[in-house]
Amino acid sequence: MKTIGIDPGTARMGWGVVDEQGSQIRLVEFGVLTTPAGMPQAERLRRLYDGLSEILGRHHPTYAAVEELFFGKNVNTAITVGQARGVALLALHQAGADIHEYKPTAVKQAITGYGGADKRQMQEMVRITLGLAAVPQPDDAADALAIAICHAYTGPTLRRIAGGA
């Protein structure tokens, strides 16, 4: 079953698709959707939507895992990331993906076993889990793959709970 992970952002939206085959998680594809800083916000959001819709049409993931919004000190950044997140959720819903949202600490816990892991630890565990020679670049794509892997680890338990088993 394919899972797409989304690391939302307006300037850079990371995405990564993995495929669960039994107990193995295999890399399918990853990348980053980018928009120029000077572009009007509505146009940036449309570009992100169109790009993500194209990726979803190509891969038809069963599941989608999206990072929940983390509020830092910069309110403007939080608002624009929230808008990008909304666009991603809409595209994922329209594509029929079963959407799950994860807090950054939950992703870190699932990937490294420690909710306070740093970026380098996360990236290395993504590399090891997917059997890659190098850490996926750029960082936004590696983060999206971590989110997808988090769901690949967590999803079976969620499905058992939902099924009452």
For the sheet containing 98-102, what is the strand order? 24-34, 12-21, 2-7, 63-67, 98-102
Look up tokens 């850490």; give the residue: 135
Give the span between the Cα atoms of 130 and 16, in whole angstroms: 12
Catalytic residue among 19, 20, 98, 140: 140
Catalytic residue among 7, 118, 139, 143: 7
Reply yes or no on whether 140 is catalytic.
yes
Reply yes or no on whether 50 is catalytic.
no
Give the span between the Cα atoms of 102 and 68, in whole angstroms: 5
* Nearest Cα to Cα of residue 140 among 42, 21, 40, 9: 9
Give the three-class secondary structure for 7: strand
Contact between residue 39 and residue 98 where contact means Cβ atoms under 8 Å apart: no
Catalytic residue among 67, 68, 139, 143: 67
Reply yes or no on whether 7 is catalytic.
yes
Q: Which residues are catalytic?
A: 7, 67, 140
